[in-house]
Amino acid sequence: MKTPATDYTRDPAAFSGPGPVMAIGGAEDKLKEKDILTAFWQLAGGRKAKIVVIPTASSLEDAGERYKAIFLGMGAKRADVIFLNDREDANQSASVTPIKGATGIFLTGGNQMRLAAVVAGTKVQQAVLDRHAAGAVVAGTSAGASVLSAHMVAYGSGGPVPKLRMAQLAAGFGLLNGVVIDQHFRERDSFGRLMTLVATSPSLLGIGVDEDTCALVWPDGIMDVLGRHSVTIVDGSRITSDVHRVKGHAEIAISNAIVHIVTPGRRFDTRNRTMLWPKPPRPQG
């Protein structure tokens, strides 16, 4: 199902308060309609957009250049790629400078452990947080999506049934709090992993984003779903489980997980943990 075209264009001169955050499930369309990448470009300011691409998660040399070409092709005013090979790079002023004027920051896919290991706790991370606080949109795809949250899925295995130790957490960038984001969700059969994460950390709202799909989270916690598939939410606020009793890699018994599946065009309130269904049309008197 295609999302109806929405124009998300913002004027950077009017930015006030924190910007939106886009968690993309990976494998977003880069060739045809490019709905998700277009929404990012618009949120960054459209023709006024100054975009920084951080390809640190990727081991591919040209991962950043491809996005740069796409955003310039859409009409962005600027697009820069920042190469960060190690933490020293991520503490250089030369790395931080382009971020300081950015209206949109894009984290590519790859390995979120590499992204966190190189960038977390450095001047680059602080610059990303500062720009976001000043209104810039921050998007991450695949590994870049996972790293957006304060609690990040570091690594783990797939499969529909929750097992102890099937997922490990690390500290992410903290652009979204109180959530844990998994990506390539249906494609990598990650339901069990997200259930495990939420059973182990019931304060976190689990967000599983499918490929070519985006959870666009506004500063007030309202999430729009864009793209082709859906976003699965696991709410553990009423959960009980035996995570504290089982051993090794045993399966976990879980009770009262509340699951929502949010399709494109639908909205979800991540703070109140409720689906925002459209109001039914008022009967005509």
Among positions 62, 88, 189, 220, the unique one binding its own copies when judged by CB under 8 A: 189
For its own copies, the closer of residues 96 and 231 by Cβ is 231
Query: Count of residues binding its own copies (CB under 8 A)?
Result: 36
Q: Does residue 274 touch its own copies according to CB under 8 A?
A: yes
Q: Which helix (H) or strand (E) holds 1?
A: none
Q: Does residue 48 touch its own copies according to CB under 8 A?
A: no
For its own copies, the closer of residues 33 and 189 by Cβ is 189
Least Å from the CB of residue 79 to its own copies: 33
Distance separating the N- and C-terminal Cα atoms of the chain: 34
Report DSSP letters for 75-137, one per residue. T-SEEEE----STTGGG-HHHHHHHHT-SEEEE-SS-HHHHHHHHTTSHHHHHHHHHHHTT-E
For its own copies, the closer of residues 60 and 275 by Cβ is 275
- Looking at 44-52, 114-122, 135-143, 271-279, which segment touches its own copies (CB under 8 A)? 271-279
Helices (H), 101-234: 112-119, 123-133, 143-146, 191-200
Report DSSP letters for 16-50, one per residue. -S---EEEE-S---SSS--HHHHHHHHHTTGGG-E
Handedness of CA 219, 222, 225, 231 (dihedral sign): positive
Handedness of CA 141, 133, 33, 225 (dihedral sign): positive
Would you mind telling me the total number of residues written for the chain in this entry?
285
Specify the residue for token string 């990976």: 26
Q: Does residue 133 touch its own copies according to CB under 8 A?
A: no
Q: Does residue 69 touch its own copies according to CB under 8 A?
A: no
Among positions 20, 55, 104, 162, the unique one binding its own copies when judged by CB under 8 A: 162
For its own copies, the closer of residues 277 and 282 by Cβ is 277
Q: Does residue 263 touch its own copies according to CB under 8 A?
A: yes
Active site members = 142, 184, 211
Q: Does residue 242 touch its own copies according to CB under 8 A?
A: yes
Task: Report the interhelical angle of 123-133 vs 93-100 (nearest 10°).
Answer: 10
Least Å from the CB of residue 200 to its own copies: 14
Among positions 4, 16, 61, 277, the unique one binding its own copies when judged by CB under 8 A: 277
Interface contacts to its own copies, rule CB under 8 A: 1, 159-162, 185-186, 189, 191, 195, 210, 229-230, 232, 240, 242, 246, 250-264, 266, 274-275, 277
